């Protein structure tokens, strides 16, 4: 929740790194860790973690995050493709819908 509010990111990073060490294959922890890394400016590591998380658990919110980092990394076509796949998983996911709306991408 610290990461979602974009506050106390260094603290969030430490907590998520600890969680990741306890459950290194948990896709939701990977997603959260990737998101804080993205917010701290480490797009490449965020992409690596998000791709891995989405590969383990193709889930709409993870797809929304992956698409956003792809977009911000200059990979708009891959972002659109990821979002389209995520819509098929759960087109009603609030995070996915708001992310696509921010980038003016329709399902």
- Reported as type and span, the H/E element at residue 27 is helix 27-39
Residue 43: what pLDDT?
97
Domain 9-102, CATH homologous superfamily name and number: Tetratricopeptide repeat domain (1.25.40.10)
Summary mean pLDDT of the chain: 93
Domain ranges across the chain? 9-102
Distance from the Cα of residue 92 to its chain's centroid: 17
Q: Which of 47, 41, 45, 51 is nearest to 9 (CA)?
A: 41
* % of the chain at pLDDT higher than 90: 87
Please give the angle made by the CA atoms of 41, 37 and 17, to the nearest 5 degrees: 150
The residue ranking higher by pLDDT, 77 or 1, is: 77
Confidence of residue 107 (pLDDT cuts 50, 70, 90): confident
| 3, pLDDT greater than 60 | no
What's the whole-model pTM score?
A: 0.91
Confidence of residue 6 (pLDDT cuts 50, 70, 90): low
| 36, pLDDT greater than 70 | yes
């Amino acid at each position: 929740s610290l990461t979602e509010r974009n506050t106390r990111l260094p603290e969030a990073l430490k907590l998520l790194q600890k969680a990741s060490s306890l459950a290194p294959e948990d896709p939701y922890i990977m997603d959260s860790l990737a998101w804080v890394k993205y917010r701290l400016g480490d797009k490449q590591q965020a992409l690596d973690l998000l791709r891995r998380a989405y590969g383990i658990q193709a889930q709409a919110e993870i797809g929304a995050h992956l698409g956003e980092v792809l977009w911000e990394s200059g990979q708009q076509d891959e972002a659109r493709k990821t979002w389209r796949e995520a819509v098929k998983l759960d087109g009603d996911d609030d995070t996915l819908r708001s992310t696509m709306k921010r980038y003016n991408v329709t399902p």
